[in-house]
Amino acid sequence: MTKSIATASINLETAVALIDAAIAAAREIGIPAAVAVVDATGNLRAFERTDDAPFLTVDVAIDKAWSSASFGFPTHVWNDYVSNDPKVAPLAFRPRMVAVGGGYPILEDGKLIGGIGISGGTYQQDQDACVEALTKIGFELPA
């Protein structure tokens, strides 16, 4: 009987490339940004903050990445869950849970290998920067 499971996780080189692509996307959109990439276990793998990004964006970006990696779907989907289902709504009060746009799981061949979180603009701007960065590096977006 096997007592372990094989796991995959984002490597440092790719995490840094994703950070660079996200910062470039945020600049194109015209927002300051903090960008975090976590591995498949939710641990921080790479992080960057533009000089003009407020310090609150640091924890928000990290927690968006963590939230999206936790179940493998974007943070804006969490918003729908906690807003529309009173039985799930208490999850919105969990420490680290961020249920607004700007966090996406990082998927490779359908397998979760991490999460990315961006904070600094509106939820839609953060979400758009995530999509741009993931697409530029060649990651699939969740269905």
Instruction: Assess if residue 30 is contained within a domain.
Output: yes
Closest by alpha carbon to 101, among 83, 81, 74, 82? 74
Instruction: Assess if residue 76 is contained within a domain.
Output: yes
Number of domains into which the chain is organized: 1
Instruction: Assess if residue 42 is contained within a domain.
Output: yes
In angstroms, the CA 130 to CA 35 distance is: 9
Query: Average pLDDT for residues 128-133, to the nearest whole number?
Result: 98
Of residues 121 and 84, more confidently modeled? 121
- The pLDDT of residue 55 is 97
In angstroms, the CA 54 to CA 72 distance is: 27
Instruction: Assess if residue 75 is contained within a domain.
Output: yes
Query: Average pLDDT for residues 57-85, to the nearest whole number?
Result: 94
Q: Is the pLDDT of residue 28 over 90?
A: yes
- Binned at pLDDT 50, 70 and 90, residue 80 comes out as confident
- Model's pTM, two decimal places? 0.94
Which CATH number do you get for residue 90?
3.30.450.150
Residues 64/57, Cβ–Cβ less than 8 Å: no
DSSP reduced 3-state for 85: coil
Q: Which domain does 76 fall in, by range?
A: 12-137
Instruction: Assess if residue 98 is contained within a domain.
Output: yes
Q: Mean pLDDT of all residues in the chain? A: 95
